[in-house]
Amino acid sequence: MVWATPSASSPMPVAVRVDGCPGWGPGDRRAAMLPFVGPAMARAGFLAVGISVRHSGQAVFPAQLEDVQAAVSWLRRNPLGLPVDGDHIGVWGQSAGGHLASMAGLSSSQGAAVQAVVTISGPSDLTRGGGEMHIDRPSPVMALVGGETSRLSAASPVAHVRAGAPPYLIIHGTSDETVPYEQAELLHRALLAAGTDSRLLPIPGGHHNLLDDPDAPYDGQVWYDVADEAAQFFTRQLAAGSP
C-alpha cells in the first residue's frame, strides 16, 4: 500500500509502516489505512508505504526482519517508478511492528539501511520477559523464535545496538500491560550509550493501546498526537539534504 500527495512527482522521503501483526501473528496491512497511520504521513509530505511480513506461524525469526529488509530494498530499487527518495527512508511500527522497525534500524544489511526509526510500544529485550512477554511457556515471543530460548537475544534490538545507528523516537505507555515500559527505557539507554540520537516519549498512564483503558479500541486523540510526533521526527530526520 502506498500513499502520496496528489501532486507528488519529484522524489519524496519515505515513511515505511510495518504491519503490527499482533504478537507476530497473522496481520493485515489495512491498519496502515487508518487516518493516523499512512494518510497522516502522506499529508505530512512523505511517500507513505504500508508493508506486511510473514507471521510466526509461517516462519520464525529472522524471516520477519528479512521481509522488512526486502521491502526497503525493493523501494530503493524502485521498479515501479514511484517518487522514492532512496537516501531518506524511515521505518515505523507499533508493538510487534515496532520491534521489527527497531531491528531494521540496527541492521547492517546492504541496500536495506534506513535513516530514521519510530517504535511504538515495541519490545526491545526478549530475554527479559514481563507483561505478556512470556519466555517460560508458550507465548507470542516464544512462537517468534520457534520455541528456542537461545534465539531470544538474536531477536532483541538491544543486542544489536551499535555506533552509527540512525536516530530513534521511542513512544511507549507507562502502564503498558503487554510490553512493559522498561523495554522502552532499555532501548533508549542502550542507544544513548552507543552515541545514537534517541528520544523517549512516555505516554503517562497509557497501556499497550496508549489509552487509559486497556480494552479500548486503538483510536482517539493520543494516536493522532503520536502520528504528529512521528511526522515531525521524520521531517527533521528525512528532509532532503539531511545526512
Question: Residues of the chain with pLDDT > 70: what percent?
Answer: 95
Look at 107 and 158; give whichever has higher pLDDT.
158
pLDDT at 110: 78
Sheet containing 116-120, strands listed edge to edge, beginning at the edge strand earlier in sequence: 2-3, 47-51, 12-18, 84-94, 116-120, 168-173, 198-203
E strands, 27-167, in order: 47-51, 84-94, 116-120
How many C-beta neighbours within 10 Å does residue 160 have? Answer: 17
How much is the mean pLDDT over the chain? 94
pLDDT at 75: 96
The structure's pTM equals: 0.95
Cα separation of 226 and 228, whole Å? Answer: 5
State yes or no: pLDDT of 3 exceeds 60.
no
Q: Which domains does the chain have, with CATH numbers?
A: 8-238 (3.40.50.1820)
| Lowest mean pLDDT, pick from 23-32, 97-106, 185-194, 233-242 | 233-242
Q: How does residue 241 score in pLDDT terms, banded at 50, 70 and 90?
A: very low
Amino acid identity for residue 201 in this structure: L
pLDDT at 158: 98
- Residues 34-39 have a mean pLDDT of 95
pLDDT at 29: 78
- Residues 10-15 have a mean pLDDT of 94
For 155-166, write each residue's pLDDT tens digit.
999 999 999 999
